[in-house]
Amino acid sequence: MDQRTMRNIFGQFATGVTVITCANDEGTPHGATVTAFTPISIEPRLCQVTLTRKSKACGFLDDAPFAVNILKSDQLDTAMHFAGKPQEHGPEWSSDWLVPALADTAATLICNPWASYDGGDHVIYVGEIVDAVVDTEAEPLLFYRSKFHDLGDTSGAAAYCGSLDDPHSRWFDATARFTPSCVPLSAVS
């Protein structure tokens, strides 16, 4: 498959939008818009971000602290600014941490470097979350099929909480045994 086909396939997965911020070699704040963010672990508190090797930010993250700034639905200008399309009004920086971070986001995670891995044409950075702030009322900015979106109207339906593949609510462990509830057709004939 060619790169465009792969991008289209990956674009079927809607993601949130983050800006990864850090300091460059001179100590100046730098950021990159990134949709490849994943929470990994609650204990220890870990998350991962994946950046293309071609990005400037990728060169600044080796063994350096960074912030994951989860953008609000009204922060499209901020996403575009850090995606290489500078906006008239630059970003608003927070002075709350030693690591450069954006102000007024849906959430900000301050991370110490944990590990980095080869990810082909990207580098996978794992950070240990050492501090965080969240705006529980904020709606996230989303990215889907190469376009930005917001959540839209809520469905009003409650999430299904009966998953049997959840370690906190009846996950099947290694000792579980299953008995088929039907007879295979091959056994009938």
Tens-place pLDDT, residues 73-105:
999 999 999 998 888 888 999 989 999 999 999
Beta-bridge partner residues of 26: none
The end-to-end CA distance of the chain, in Å, is 44
For residue 34, the domain's CATH number is: 2.30.110.10
How far apart CA 143 and CA 149 sit, in angstroms, is 6
- The pLDDT tens digits of the residues spanning 114-149 come to 999 999 999 999 999 999 999 999 999 988 787 778
Please give the residue range of the domain that contains residue 44.
3-152
Asked, for residue 44, whether it belongs to a domain, the answer is yes
Confidence of residue 176 (pLDDT cuts 50, 70, 90): low
Number of domains in the chain: 1
Choose from 87-91, 103-107, 155-159, 176-180 the range with maximum mean pLDDT: 103-107
Q: Read off φ and ψ for residue 108, nearest 5 degrees.
A: -135, 130
Neighbour order of strands in the sheet with 37-41: 29-34, 18-23, 66-70, 107-119, 122-134, 46-52, 37-41
